[in-house]
Amino acid sequence: MTSEEFIGIRKELNKTQQQMARLLGGSVKAVCSYEQGWRSIPVHAQRQMLFLLYLKTNHKGRPKPCWEIIGCPDILKLNCPAWEFNAGHICWFINGTICSGRVQANWTEKIRLCKRCKAFPAVLKNTLNP
């Protein structure tokens, strides 16, 4: 996540830097550092911000699960944590998912792939730069 994306999400959430720091369990100084690009944004903060943005958006019912959207084969679906935890609507939030035929090893790799996926929520796509 870039500093611009961080700022964009914070503004979409309608939070001050102080409020964002509280939500992330950090300090205002850390939030300022992320926004200025002085410090990289930790994975836990990136995930928390995306999750909060997702929750804040108005969903009309539960979105289709990822395995239906992308037509995931049963062999992969049955071994995927998104399927196991019935979390296909938030697959992008779950680590260790099987996407593009392989387990996603880390957040950076995973979110890069998720940004291009049809199952990734539009509200998040519009906020993040692909």
19, part of any domain: yes
DSSP annotation string for 23-80: HHTS-HHHHHHHHHTSSPPPHHHHHHHHHHHHHHS--SSPPPPHHHHHT--HHHHTT-
Secondary structure letter of residue 116 according to DSSP = T
Q: Do 42 and 91 reside in the same domain of the chain?
A: no
Report pLDDT digits (tens) over 108-118: 888 888 888 88
Q: Do 70 and 111 reside in the same domain of the chain?
A: yes
Exposure string (b/e) for 57-72, b if CB count within 10 Å is 16 or more?
eeeeeebebbbebbeb
pLDDT value of residue 129: 64
Q: Do 51 and 75 reside in the same domain of the chain?
A: no
- CATH number of the domain where residue 50 is located: 1.10.260.40
Q: Which amino acid is at 19?
A: Q
- For the beta carbon of residue 6, count every other beta carbon within 10 angstroms: 19
Using the structure block, give the residue that is written with the tokens 């992308």. 70
The list of the chain residues with pLDDT below 70 reads: 58-61, 129-130
Q: Do 51 and 73 reside in the same domain of the chain?
A: no
Residue 50, domain extent: 3-56
11, part of any domain: yes
Q: Do 71 and 123 reside in the same domain of the chain?
A: yes
Q: What is the spatial distance between Cα 90 and Cα 63, in angstroms, rounded to a whole number?
A: 9
Report pLDDT digits (tens) over 92-128: 888 889 888 888 878 888 888 888 888 888 778 777 7
pLDDT value of residue 130: 47
pLDDT value of residue 49: 93
Is residue 113 within 8 Å of residue 104, measured between CB atoms? Answer: yes
Number of structural domains the chain divides into: 2
